[in-house]
Amino acid sequence: MSLLHTVNKSPFERNSLESCLRLAEDGHAVLLIEDAAVAALDGTAHTETIKNATGRLSMYVLGPDLDARGLSRDRVIDGIEIVDYDRFVMLACEHDSVQSWL
């Protein structure tokens, strides 16, 4: 089974992303949306954990959520792909199911 995990909470406030990364299987996709977009930035207290995850998971962040929060696209961790809403839909279709981490 190939899964798309979506996370919408900041890792500074909730452990949703942490749990997602712990329980997602190798090769799964993880898309950071809404407040979770802040996790995609390089140089934060969570950067190391997320960098490690990019080796075994396909990591994505929703660009419009970065823009809304004034987070520069240039500062996104290498290995995280920035996607738009159309690509979000494509990702959902390409995977067998979507699991939301709220």
Partner 1 sequence: MSEEGIIKKLMYVNRKAPYGTIYALESLEVVLIGAAFDQQVSLAFVDDGVYQLTRSQNTDGIGMKNFSPTYAALGDYDVRHIYVERESLEARGLTVEDLMPLTYEDEDDDWAEKESLRIVDSSELATLMGEQDVVLSF
Which residues contact partner 1 by CB under 8 A?
Answer: 8-10, 12-13, 34-35, 38, 41-45, 47, 63-65, 67-71, 75, 84-85
Q: How far is the CB of 60 from partner 1 (least distance, A)?
A: 15
Relative orientation angle of helices 47-54 and 16-23, to the nearest 10 degrees = 30
Q: How far is the CB of 25 from partner 1 (least distance, A)?
A: 27
Q: How far is the CB of 14 from partner 1 (least distance, A)?
A: 10
The answer to whether the beta carbons of residues 61 and 35 sit under 8 Å apart is: no
Between residues 10 and 58, which has the closer beta carbon with respect to partner 1?
A: 10
Among candidate residues 99, 102, 14, the one with its CA nearest the CA of residue 57: 99
**Beta-sheet pairing, 80-83 with 58-62:** parallel
